[in-house]
């Protein structure tokens, strides 16, 4: 988060353009999001520092904080790709619909939380701070902030799409048909990410090999959610299923 704040500050001061700083924003967001995801499995909100608890990157004036995102994510693990999964709106396909939902993920997640959980005092306070801070930055340098916001929202939306739809949705192939003949049915569950070698190498370069394992071994992560990312490769071969959380593939719940 500090590097993202610094990039925004440098751009607003006129020392460098957002376009020049975009790679820093993208890489730091992706790595930071996965590190925060790791923390959500082992640290309660009161155990993390205030800036992280706020999760204030200014991608939306209507965002949630660590407390709410942790609750959503842990419920996603318990009810993966079912009607009770709070992340289902970003999972269910096709891909165009899921990508659109992922791009609106921050607002849709906030709306879902408010409709389901209401707005407690802590969320009111933190949401007010996030919204006022973001609107203040917009007022100071609207053009620079819009460029920053555009880079961040594209990054957030694309990462949401991969983390939810790509890792939890598979469209079936019609039995006896050619590979491009798609069945109307789809499978929902938890799947590993397997990419062509050049893309896999690029992913590991951007994220680092340990954090990339959260995606590439996502089925192992769901089976063993409290295991550190660097220990996920090969884990399911040695220990096929967690005694607490079992990752399963389920039928279409649309």
Closest listed residue to residue 222, CA positions, set 44, 76, 82, 71 = 76
In the block, which residue shows the tokens 């990339």? 212
pLDDT one digit per residue (tens) for the chain, 254 residues:
899 999 999 999 999 999 999 999 999 999 999 999 999 999 999 999 999 999 999 999 999 999 999 999 999 999 999 999 999 999 998 899 999 999 999 999 999 999 999 999 999 999 999 999 999 999 999 999 999 999 999 999 999 999 999 999 987 643 333 333 444 556 899 999 999 999 999 999 999 999 999 999 999 999 999 999 999 999 988 888 654 444 344 333 33
Q: What is the pTM of this model?
A: 0.88
Which string of DSSP letters, residue by residue, matches 108-147?
A: HHHHHHHHHH---HHHHHHHHHHHHHHHHHHHH-HHHHHH
User: CA-CA-CA-CA torsion for 214, 237, 240, 86, nearest 10 degrees?
Assistant: 20
- Buried b / exposed e over 214-242, threshold 16 CB at 10 Å, is bbbbbbbbbbbbebebeebeebbeeeeeb
Q: To which H or E segment does residue 150 belong?
A: helix 142-160
Closest listed residue to residue 217, CA positions, set 229, 208, 205 = 229
Instruction: Tell me how far CA of residue 125 lies from CA of 60, 64, 108, 129, in angstroms.
Output: 16, 11, 20, 6
Domain locations in the chain?
Answer: 2-172
User: CA-CA-CA-CA torsion for 99, 105, 111, 115, nearest 10 degrees?
Assistant: 70
């Amino acid at each position: 988060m500090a590097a993202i704040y610094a990039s925004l500050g440098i751009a607003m001061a006129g020392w460098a353009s957002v376009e020049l700083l975009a790679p820093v924003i993208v890489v730091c967001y992706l790595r930071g999001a996965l590190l925060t995801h790791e923390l959500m499995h082992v640290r309660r909100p009161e155990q993390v520092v205030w800036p992280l608890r706020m999760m204030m990157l200014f991608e939306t004036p209507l965002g949630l904080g660590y407390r709410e995102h942790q609750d959503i994510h842990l419920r996603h693990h318990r009810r993966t790709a079912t009607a009770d999964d709070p992340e289902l709106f970003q999972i269910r396909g096709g891909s165009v619909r899921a990508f659109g939902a992922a791009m609106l993920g921050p607002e849709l997640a906030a709306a879902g939380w408010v409709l389901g959980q209401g707005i407690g005092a802590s969320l009111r306070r933190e949401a007010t701070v996030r919204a006022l801070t973001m609107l203040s930055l917009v007022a100071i340098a609207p053009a620079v902030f819009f460029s920053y916001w555009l880079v961040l929202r594209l990054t957030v939306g694309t990462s949401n799409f991969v983390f939810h739809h790509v890792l939890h949705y598979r469209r079936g192939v019609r039995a006896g048909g050619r590979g491009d003949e798609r069945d109307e049915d789809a499978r929902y569950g938890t799947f590993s990410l397997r990419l062509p070698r050049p893309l896999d190498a690029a992913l590991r370069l951007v994220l680092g090999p340990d954090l990339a394992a959260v995606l590439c071994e996502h089925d192992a992560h769901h089976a063993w959610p409290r295991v550190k990312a660097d220990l996920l490769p090969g884990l399911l071969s040695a220990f096929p299923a967690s005694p607490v959380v079992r990752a399963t593939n389920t039928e279409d719940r649309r």
